[in-house]
Amino acid sequence: MNRMSADRSAAPDVLRAAYVDLVVTDLARARDFYVDVLGLVVTREDESGIYLRTLEEFIHHNLVLRQGPVAACAAVAYRVRTPDDVDRAEAFHAALGCRTERRRGGFASGIGDAVRVEDPMGFTCEYFHDVALVDRLTWRYDLHRGTPLARLDHFNLVTPDVARGCAHLRSLGFRLTEDIQDGDGVTYAAWLGRKQTVHDTALTGGDGPRLHHLAFSTYESHHVLALCDLLGALGRHDLIERGPGRHGVSNAFYLYLRDPDGHRIEIYTHDYYTGDPDNPVVTWDVGDEQRRDWWGNPVVPRWYAEASLVLDLDGNPREVVPRTEPREGGVRVGADGFTFRTDTGEETKLGTQL
């Protein structure tokens, strides 16, 4: 099929979640976190930003850090199978009435022809194929440190209407692997993928559009624990937000950190294969206490409430629209046994409440 005869309404063939374009307010402070603490590899540093990659990555970068006035996510980017799929991504979103911007020279260093779109959920998403290739450092054990970050695993996006977001991603060819629902059919969260793992993109129900987190995978659960030990030794334990633990959804071992600007980063390992066409979808009940932590540990309220702003194609923060459907989370008793916290972060002491 030549470029002119391609079906203009066909979905692009998305390969995987490839990189995130993040705005940080202090580039030096962010570099310290992502390079010196997390050990991401610097592919390039110039006046436009810092381009970082994971150890197994062979494309130019998985993360761009740019300095800006407000911490935000400028774009989440997917790699597509062929150059024609960039055309398809543009036509697909234009047909939905979405705003699109095509740049033959790419939006970031190392990336060729790409299109960015404001998708129906309000996220700025990029689709590209052409990219500079770099050395895969899998066998460079001399560069692997306590917690080797092997790959970018997924993005997690906050949106008020998860069912609508899910329908959009499925129309783009994503496969649903897991979700959280209640008995009334309300969907609280969903996990969808293109590669053969649990997800490339997850949707979390909440005020949005906002970026909930990006996740890097490491090799083994002990590598996650090693990062906790390192952060403790550095006196940077304040960067740990949730975990370590075992997810119910995805079965992965996890840790959530907040970077110095508050962007949330997950360290993730050991989810499962989902590549067969009849891979069974796992639906969790929102009342199941093991859904988000297999060991039953409560989720800290700010994990539900807080997320990063996202930028539109002009670089302006998108308006955050409240979720109208019921929210996940609710009231939890704190680890001290006295403090109640709601999912909006309000705190009351047991003694004063009763």
Evaluate the CA torsion angle 218, 223, 228, 233 in order and state its sign. negative
Interface map 134-173 toward Fe ion (x if CB under 5 A): ----------------------x-----------------
Closer to ligand XXG by CB, 53 or 247: give it: 247
Q: How far is the CB of 270 from ligand XXG (least distance, A)?
A: 11
Compute the C-alpha angle 222/197/166, nearest 5°.
125
Query: Which does residue 250 bind out of Fe ion, ligand XXG, none, counting CB within 5 to 8 angstroms by kind?
Result: ligand XXG
Task: Give the separation between CA 56 and CA 54, rounded to whole angstroms.
Answer: 6
Per CB under 6 A, does 108 bind ligand XXG?
no
Which of residues 85 and 179 has its CB atom nearest to ligand XXG in the complex? 179
97 vs 287, beta carbon nearer ligand XXG: 287
Residue 177 identity? T
Count of positions on this chain that bind Fe ion (CB under 5 A)? 3
226-285: contacts with ligand XXG (CB under 6 A): 247-250, 252, 266, 268
Coil, helix or strand for 338?
coil
For residue 191, the surrounding DSSP H or E stretch is strand 187-193
Compute the least distance from the CB of residue 259 to ligand XXG, in Å: 16
* CA atoms in the 13 A half-sphere facing the CB of 8: 5
- Give dist(CA 191, CA 332) in Å, integer: 25
Q: Is residue 257 a contact residue for Fe ion (CB under 5 A)?
A: no
Partner from ligand XXG, Fe ion, none binding residue 248, C-beta < 5-8 Å depending on class = ligand XXG
- Answer yes or no whether residue 215 interacts with Fe ion by CB under 5 A: yes
Interface mask (CB under 5 A) for Fe ion, residues 296-335, using x and -? ----------------------------------------
Omega before residue 69 within 30° of 0, cis: no
Place of tokens 């560069």: 143
For ligand XXG, the binding residues in 280-309 under the rule CB under 6 A are: 291-292
CB-CB contact of 310 with 122 (8 Å):
yes
CB-based burial, 130-161: b 16+ in 10 Å, e otherwise: ebbebeebeeeeeebeebbbbbbbbbbbbbbb
Q: Which of 108, 157, 190, 215 binds ligand XXG (CB under 6 A)?
A: 215
Task: Output 18 or 215, the one with its CB closest to Fe ion.
Answer: 215
Query: Among 86, 88, 149, 95, which residue's Cα sits nearest to residue 114?
Result: 86
Between vectors from CA 166 to CA 280 and to CA 57, what angle results, nearest 5°?
75
Q: What residues make contact with ligand XXG under the rule CB under 6 A?
A: 156, 202, 215, 247-250, 252, 266, 268, 291-292
Q: What residues make contact with Fe ion under the rule CB under 5 A?
A: 156, 215, 266
